[in-house]
Chain A
Amino acid sequence: MALDRDLAAAIAVTRFGLGAKPGQIDAVKEAGPRRWLQSQIRPVGGADQPSANPPSSAARLLEFREYQRERQAARAAGQHFDPVKFAGKLIRQDAGADFLSRMRLAATTDADFRERWALFWFNHFTVSATKLQTATLVGPFEDEAIRPHVFGRFEDMLVASSSHPAMLLYLDQARSIGPDTAAAAFLSRKGRHAGLNENLAREVMELHTVGLAAHYTQADVTEFARALTGWSISGLDAPDSVAGKFMFRPAAHEPGVRTIMGRRYPQEGMQQGLAVLHDLAASPFTAQHVSYELARHFVADEPPASLVARLKETFQETGGDLSHVANTLILSPEAWSPEARKFKTPYEFVVSAWRAAGVTPDALRDAAILTALGQKPYSAPSPKGWPEDAAAWCAPDAVVKRMAWAQRLAAGHVAGRDPSQLAADALGDRLTPLVAQAISHAETREESLAVLLMSPEFQRR
């Protein structure tokens, strides 16, 4: 490949990674850009954990149950209880600490391709804090269901995601009950209506696996929802070893054979849902859908068809082994196009600016800019996750806010630094003469660093 090694090193760190820290581009050039990326693929162990002692989702669920009990008790006693205030406290303390750990990892890691790869998969299997019940579970979900599996088999991550308490709550699966079951009859005797909820089934098909291109029907979604009944969470009064964890409830599982996208599923109990997930993971539509999303994330909003085809082929040949898919991405010439076509999302922009300036975020308030730019921590607007395209993020208001923030960051972190060196460190051979000149002509160090952070080559990757 004719790509110059200096430029390749700059692309490796800024496009595949999260942006260059001072000295990183030189180190990557030394190691060899492709080899540096390949060395970050870790089939055993997966992505890094943001926190040394990560909180478990079960512990967080127990905490939430405590909150609900307190609320009930307060109401029964006629006391005033402000759920909004309380939830705000929970979210700041727990979710805030999780998000801060994650930001610190992103801002400091030397294995930043591995981290970007993990962030992609978290967005693919989005759980959002927009729902009170899941607000403190997003971090644990990412740590437990996504990070361990990002270089493993796609099917394993799909099963881990679909059975994680956070996902079961976010998409209302935990309370979905087969209409012809003992559980439904019991609840009905108590005067409570119980039934099917097809939210998880629909999003697994549409967003996580085959996508709308597979042309499944409403009947397929409903059948899949029936197959998934019983996938739930154990009672919080259960023994500590299982409380708040995934539990299959046979009494809520709709009996009978299911037919989904033309296939029969005669399995009983939990095996039925697993069999459907197995077939969905193996579908060529899933290979296509996932490959397209990967290519779109790493290369261009409208990715080259040849790259998508290449990734798809690896996905299918290896049974969805994501370490091989990552390797194919690294070896694909389309991914090394000198033209930077991806406009950074707010998180990518902010993290890369911290890396360039050598800043480690030390408080949750450092994330406030993400909310202002439209990417509130852990709060994707829908199960579809955050948008990928420049049209969504390169909006007039957002560009002005990026500019204001770039000035604030520059003001705090330029003392004694050489702006031209900062620019060379951040962009390597991707720095254009136009921007290099504007940086050297700036009136103050602050101004020059702000110009660097707002330059087209820094805003794009």
Chain B
Amino acid sequence: MTHALAPSRRQALAAALGFGLSVEFLGRKAFAASDRALADRKLVVVICRGGMDGLSVSPPVGDANYAALRGAIAIPGFDQPGGALRLDDTFGLHPSLAAVHRLALKGEARIAPAVATPDRARSHFEAQDVLENGATSAYGTDSGWLNRALQAMGPGKARAISVGPTSPLILRGPVEAASWSPGPGVGRDPRLPGILADIYASADPELARALASGLATERMAKIADDDARAALGETISAPGRDMSAQPASAGAARPRPAFRQGLGVARRMGATLAGFMIQPGGPQLAAISIDGFDTHANQGSSQGQLATRLAYLDAVLDGISAGMGPGWRDTIVIAATEFGRTARVNGTAGTDHGTASTALLLGGALRRGGVIGDWPTLADGKLFENRDTAPTLDMRGLFKGLLAEHYGVSRRALDTAVFPGSANVAPALGIIA
């Protein structure tokens, strides 16, 4: 199948299936130029739950104190076996993040190594809530900032989807967002959805909204899945993109079959999410969660528990990148976590809840450049509360910068509606090309 034919095939399919969202979207006679551009611009937020260890995601192997603080769980230096994949003199990427590194070499991936939400309680649940609700405290609001961003862009201008059977807080709120996870479709009784829609319409608005959105998404899933299959097929066969071709990861252990299968599923999931987003009228914004980053014990170094989770993250990101196809040039992906982990290894070969961590930024829409934000270093006296990587960049500033530059959301809306009470937090600008 040639890729050039794909968009028209998708349009035809979408129309034939009577897909609600796209019909409505395509039905508008003409787009203003800015709307057209907006429709193409994608933003994917990957939430890494559990407190992802920034010092392993982007190990500062050039920082004089890194190896001593980390002991046995330090990632080795650039040229050592299992060593970090070089970004600059100070920072590398974890060897599991080979796909991210490939993108970084093309200027399509950057790191922000010392970001934190305004929360300092070191509680997963409170910090995840703050990461997602965009407020200054866990109980500040019960809607998510990505949902309020949709609202700020204007009615019907943009749509959103989350991957997984439940709605993450980041997308909860007044604007209905789609959710999708792999599984069997609507079932065999063609009348049932209509009967239920009628009942819900008069008796249960919450169920009515969920059903309507779920049915629309289900129709879209078929198309997205076909696209993902096609995109991954192309990528897998493309020369030079095989992981083992990377010199830096050549020394790493070959993954076991079960492990590799898990990565295949992860890649497929990322590509299918992209498949949704590149459809005409498809969602511009998406949220996806990856958990398992709470590495209190036996965290591992180049290999081990955290390495496995990072390989999974890498596969999801690789899948998104491949699945976007030409749409990648208008895409930004940000992977962020609720907090980082302690700078020192703990008594159980792991790390405890900390403060600042690394956010990964990827996408063809990214401006080429170095590290985002200042590096506080791990020197004596520089650690936050003599314990954690010190935050130098407010997570909200990073998100605000993306919404401002990628979607033109006004500073006023960002300061008050999307991230309430954040007027003192400047958007991090210059990240988008």
Check A283 for interface membership: any CB of B closer than 8 A.
Answer: no
List B residues 148-172 near A (Cβ within 8 Å).
Answer: 162, 164-167, 172
Check B183 for interface membership: any CB of A closer than 8 A.
Answer: yes
Cα-based distance from A335 to B13 in the complex (angstroms): 50
Check A277 for interface membership: any CB of B closer than 8 A.
Answer: no
Chain A residue contacts of B178, Cβ below 8 A: 396-397
Chain B residue contacts of A398, Cβ below 8 A: 165-166, 179, 210, 214
A82-B258, A372-B181, A396-B210 known; A451 vs B124 contact (CB < 8 Å)? no
Which single residue of chain A is at the shortest CB-CB distance from B165?
A374
Inter-subunit contact A381/B215 (CB<8 Å): no
Total B residues in contact with A, Cβ cutoff 8 Å: 68
Among candidates A84, A401, A407, residue contacting B183 with C-beta atoms closer than 8 Å = A401
Chain A residue contacts of B164, Cβ below 8 A: 374, 397
Q: Choose the segment among A103-111, A195-203, A285-293 that binds chain B (4+ C-beta atoms closer than 8 Å).
A: A195-203
Q: Please classify the interface of chain A as helix (H, G, I), strand (E, B), loop, or mixed, using the class held by over half of its residues.
A: helix
Chain A residue contacts of B123, Cβ below 8 A: 202, 206, 212
Inter-subunit contact A396/B195 (CB<8 Å): no
Check B404 for interface membership: any CB of A closer than 8 A.
Answer: no
Cα-based distance from A406 to B211 in the complex (angstroms): 14
Chain B residue contacts of A175, Cβ below 8 A: 297, 347-348
Among candidates B49, B121, B165, B203, residue contacting A372 with C-beta atoms closer than 8 Å = B165
Q: Choose the segment among B22-30, B185-193, B233-241, B364-372 that binds chain A (4+ C-beta atoms closer than 8 Å).
A: B185-193
**Size bin of chain A's contact surface:** 35 or more
Task: Please give the distance in Å from A41's CB to the nearest CB on chain B.
Answer: 31
Inter-subunit contact B184/A399 (CB<8 Å): no
Q: Total contacts A to B, CB within 8 angstroms?
A: 184
Among candidates B122, B210, B297, residue contacting A399 with C-beta atoms closer than 8 Å = B210
Inter-subunit contact A218/B385 (CB<8 Å): yes
A198-B352, A396-B210, A407-B187 known; A456 vs B200 contact (CB < 8 Å)? yes
Chain A residue contacts of B353, Cβ below 8 A: 202
Inter-subunit contact A404/B184 (CB<8 Å): yes
Among candidates A383, A387, A454, residue contacting B166 with C-beta atoms closer than 8 Å = A387
Chain A residue contacts of B31, Cβ below 8 A: none
Chain A residue contacts of B199, Cβ below 8 A: 434-435, 438, 451, 455-456
Task: Please give the distance in Å from A212's CB to the nearest CB on chain B.
Answer: 6
Task: Please give the distance in Å from A433's CB to the nearest CB on chain B.
Answer: 11
Inter-subunit contact A400/B186 (CB<8 Å): yes
List A residues 437-461 near B (Cβ within 8 Å).
Answer: 438, 442-444, 446-447, 450-451, 454-456, 459-460
Among candidates A184, A193, A399, A455, residue contacting B345 with C-beta atoms closer than 8 Å = A193
Inter-subunit contact A408/B352 (CB<8 Å): no
A392-B166, A432-B203 known; A397 vs B345 contact (CB < 8 Å)? no
Inter-subunit contact A394/B186 (CB<8 Å): no
Among candidates B183, B192, B212, B296, residue contacting A172 with C-beta atoms closer than 8 Å = B296
List A residues 386-439 near B (Cβ within 8 Å).
Answer: 387, 390-401, 403-404, 406-408, 432, 434-435, 438
Check B425 for interface membership: any CB of A closer than 8 A.
Answer: no
Cα-based distance from A202 to B214 in the complex (angstroms): 38
Chain B residue contacts of A59, Cβ below 8 A: none
Inter-subunit contact A395/B125 (CB<8 Å): no
Cα-based distance from A202 to B122 in the complex (angstroms): 9
Chain A residue contacts of B179, Cβ below 8 A: 395-398
Inter-subunit contact A199/B296 (CB<8 Å): yes
Inter-subunit contact A197/B186 (CB<8 Å): no
Chain A residue contacts of B187, Cβ below 8 A: 403-404, 406-408, 450
Chain B residue contacts of A446, Cβ below 8 A: 189
Digit string of B195-223 for contact with A (CB within 8 Å is 1, else 0)? Answer: 11011101110110111111101100000
Chain A residue contacts of B122, Cβ below 8 A: 202, 218
Inter-subunit contact B167/A392 (CB<8 Å): yes
**B166, B178, B212, B257 interface centre (most CB from chain A within 10 Å):** B166
Check A194 for interface membership: any CB of B closer than 8 A.
Answer: yes
Which single residue of chain B is at the shortest CB-CB distance from A343?
B206
Which single residue of chain B is at the shortest CB-CB distance from A198?
B352
Inter-subunit contact A197/B71 (CB<8 Å): no
Among candidates B50, B167, B184, residue contacting A391 with C-beta atoms closer than 8 Å = B167
Inter-subunit contact A447/B192 (CB<8 Å): yes
B interface residues (Cβ-Cβ under 8 A, vs A): 49-50, 71, 121-126, 138, 142, 162, 164-167, 172, 178-181, 183-189, 191-193, 195-196, 198-200, 202-204, 206-207, 209-215, 217-218, 256-259, 262, 291-292, 296-297, 345-350, 352-353, 385
Can you sample 27 A-B contacts with CB below 8 Å? A85-B258, A195-B347, A199-B296, A372-B184, A374-B165, A374-B181, A381-B291, A382-B50, A382-B291, A383-B124, A394-B206, A395-B210, A395-B214, A396-B180, A396-B213, A397-B179, A400-B186, A400-B218, A434-B203, A435-B199, A435-B203, A438-B198, A438-B199, A450-B189, A451-B195, A454-B192, A459-B207
Task: Given contact pairs A193-B71, A400-B186, A451-B196, enumerate 19 new A-B contacts (beta carbons under 8 Å).
Answer: A82-B257, A82-B258, A194-B347, A199-B296, A206-B126, A374-B166, A374-B181, A391-B142, A395-B166, A395-B167, A396-B209, A400-B185, A403-B192, A432-B203, A438-B195, A438-B199, A447-B192, A454-B196, A456-B204
